[in-house]
Structure 1
């Protein structure tokens, strides 16, 4: 993507302002002093221990990871995860030391795909995995990761409301762990000096698991946060075997809560306790599960061969568990009522049945039918006036039932189904159509007439 004169000017002005601020702050106090309220107002920013979107609403990540750099042709993955209710997709990129580099044009396409599907894009450089360990001799340094981010900066410019930058995946191994803090500090400061205003994610050392408690205990995380002039850095721990016991999860969350710093679980796998999801929900902590598909031997795959119709038990837990994505995820408010100002997402599916006109109308869209079950999305149109709260009812003609659902309060009495909004998806603007929730049904697939009543 060519750099426009305007883009150069914007970045130049920001760098001048940031440099002036940095010099003044260092001279006055030896540290950066911006408050959280001064962080990027047009994008995601940190307030206290919360991640807040550009509209000022708290955003809690609930998502999975798309291994894009290794499977560039699997371009339906982001859409599939969104259809299952994910509000965030973490995307694997390569910086050129081990994989890639992922071209800027590809990154632009990924961002457009995320926006069209109303999911927040967390972009991460994977080449840094295990840096400093002899078992990862080709791993990129955080400095090399920053070189890559700067090389694709034009693709990220202006996307602060939709894109979060995960500087480097598991960017330090188990050797010389003390080196993690200065390397991460330098990476944050270089990105800010280059003009990046996005929320940044700093992964923990020890291959992300922080078993030495380098990030959890002491003041390392606070110093890194303070070194960010925008005070817009979120910390990420990866929970695998180190957190196999529920108490280890609770202890980590307790320790970080005491710091008052923003934390997410940037990865976790099927070998961990459901305490992660339960405690994260209770505390308002975001999480991103590893991973959608494509893992060697299938370990940690949520679906087989990138096919949402072939969901593994791990995927059922992530998407349909008691504290999974379907039950807890809320879209970022920056997406509003329309999936995208210029794009209308139309699933390749069976034509929906048209419902009678009224204060609102609704249809069931058959998104995917695999014989033994099927996925339906429910779409509401506000016909004559804006809708702020809705109740839907339909009756199956045969033996079909809803086996699981997400983003709706749903009850079944015999063959009749009643669904209500869950608050965040209650509104539909006048004349607009909005996908409001989804479900998995037993066979046979059908799309009966739906009655929609507005509150």
Structure 2
């Protein structure tokens, strides 16, 4: 979690050597913009970052790294800069040089201020407000470069102390940069040394995005030891995409001192969901994390195992990166996938249906499918899937629905619509389930509880929503092992990606913390996918 502290020895040496629901936004005409949770170039071409981090501020003489990174297939480089508070400042002239190197080598340039790393916990770190001041100081080097430059306001801007301040500090920094004339796409890093284990960024991303007058902000999570299981990775990224908020993995590695990240799932999930990734880091690591070097001694002919994995492995840079169209568009993919097969329905319940269809093909690769609900000539998004099967939940009992499917590829091309399937959901009634509610701790105004849902039927449940109604004015403040939506007293919890299927006789337990006033009675009844469960 503290990669930067592990790098302290090499950084000190370097210092000595240097003599010291979906959100839509209007597109700024001048450069990159965000719309419906995706990043687009000014001409409307979707752009998915595939690249690496380069520690320029500590290795300013390694200018050949830009060409070497490009030659290995990257379309983006995230460049470490300093505001002069922890390391020697990269002045406006040097920033201009970096931008020129990116453009010369047909790389999109993500520029970040590193001096914010671990603010609140690291004594020398500076605030996001200070980082914003730096960007305004050097703005003449980046204004006019909006088609080539993304501004990452500050690296890992809070440690594990005081991280609740991230939300307001991030909003203020964004607003200061907009008031100062920057119209670039802005990137904001998560707190907790970038890993957001507290879910501060995840749970406040919508309000931060809304605070940007241009609605042109990307969210960046750093995935190291906190993200050591597939479930943690898919759940975290999936919540952003489901909310229509733009997310990328701004740093990750194949190993780390705080745990072993699941890099294979990071590669596979970002590819399937059309999300960007930027690996850490090209070369120059020290202090015990030299294994994060992709190239030994900045030599592109001496790739490490990590370098081979990220550049040449499955879902790696060489296989999936596409050059930005601003550089000529030679690698623009305009071919749509073939039309998916007409879906077939199974497992119909009062509130859900399982759909499957013949897979599409593509000149590169099909990255996912969008299931839509048809009402006359109108369409409404139902669910997205990385495979040729999906479960649609949240339906009403005894109701007729019509569904169809589109396929999409990494370039954002969408197939023609499949044929349609008509489905009528089952009537409401007693469900083959039981639910038990237990308060595990209570204090003045707050409590912790858990609900255990058991499949008492003879077949597996594939996709579930569990609903109940509070009668004591309770409010859920945090919930795990599911995705909650509370409307007044009514609560509906949808399965997480990793507990979607409940085997016959199996069970899942969701836990939560909440607040209460006056009394804290247990809910009287529970419903699974709209059907009443018996009490456990």
Any idea what SS the aligned residue of 2:210 has? helix
Any idea what SS the aligned residue of 1:89 has? strand
Q: For residue 37 of structure 1, report the CA deviation from its aligned partner.
A: 4.3
2:38 matched residue in structure 1: 50
2:304 matched residue in structure 1: 312
Q: For residue 88 of structure 1, report the CA deviation from its aligned partner.
A: 0.2
Greater Rg by CA: 2
CA distance in 2, matches of 1:171, 1:221: 15
CA distance in 2, matches of 1:112, 1:96: 21
Q: For residue 39 of structure 1, report the CA deviation from its aligned partner.
A: 3.5
1:138 matched residue in structure 2: 124
Q: Establish whether residue 332 from structure 1 lines up as the match of residue 320 from structure 2.
A: no
**What is the aligned counterpart of 1:284 among 259, 274, 288?**
274
CA contact (8 A) 2:131 2:153 kept: yes
2:252 matched residue in structure 1: 268
Q: For residue 337 of structure 1, report the CA deviation from its aligned partner.
A: 5.4
Structure 2 segments unaligned to the other structure (5+ residues)? 1-22, 256-260, 336-362, 365-408, 412-536
Q: Establish whether residue 301 from structure 1 lines up as the match of residue 287 from structure 2.
A: no
**What is the aligned counterpart of 2:221 among 221, 237, 256?**
237
**What is the aligned counterpart of 2:212 among 228, 241, 251?**
228
Moved over 6 A (4+): none
Q: Establish whether residue 209 from structure 1 lines up as the match of residue 201 from structure 2.
A: no
CA distance in 1, matches of 2:285, 2:192: 21
Deviations 1:261-313 (A, max 9, x none): 00000000112221001000000000000000000041310010000111001
1:249 matched residue in structure 2: 233
**What is the aligned counterpart of 1:157 among 127, 143, 154?**
143
TM-score if structure 2 supplies the norm length? 0.56
Q: Establish whether residue 89 from structure 1 lines up as the match of residue 86 from structure 2.
A: no
**What is the aligned counterpart of 1:122 among 91, 110, 113?**
110
Deviations 1:34-86 (A, max 9, x none): x8442412200001110001111000000001100000000101110000010
1:415 matched residue in structure 2: none
User: Cα 1:314–1:305, aligned 2, differ >3 Å: closer, same or farther?
Assistant: same
CA distance in 2, matches of 1:72, 1:101: 11
CA distance in 2, matches of 1:198, 1:50: 15
Number of residue pairs aligned between Structure 1 and Structure 2: 308
CA distance in 1, matches of 2:133, 2:410: 42
Q: Which has the higher strand share?
A: 2
CA distance in 1, matches of 2:83, 2:103: 23
Any idea what SS the aligned residue of 1:65 has? strand
CA contact (8 A) 1:36 1:232 kept: no
CA distance in 1, matches of 2:111, 2:320: 22
Deviations 1:370-412 (A, max 9, x none): xxxxxxxxxxxxxxxxxx99xxxxxxxxxxxxxxxxxx98xxx
1:401 matched residue in structure 2: none
- Larger RCO: 1 or 2 (CA < 8 Å, sep 6+): 1
**What is the aligned counterpart of 1:167 among 153, 160, 175?**
153
CA distance in 1, matches of 2:233, 2:198: 14
Q: Which has the higher helix share?
A: 1
Structure 1 segments unaligned to the other structure (5+ residues)? 1-34, 340-387, 390-407, 410-421, 425-455
1:109 matched residue in structure 2: 97
CA distance in 2, matches of 1:241, 1:257: 22
Q: For residue 123 of structure 1, report the CA deviation from its aligned partner.
A: 0.1
Q: For residue 206 of structure 1, report the CA deviation from its aligned partner.
A: 0.3
Any idea what SS the aligned residue of 1:171 has? coil
Q: For residue 260 of structure 1, report the CA deviation from its aligned partner.
A: 1.1
Q: How well do the aligned residues superpose, as a CA RMSD in angstroms?
A: 2.0
CA distance in 1, matches of 2:28, 2:174: 15
Q: For residue 423 of structure 1, report the CA deviation from its aligned partner.
A: 11
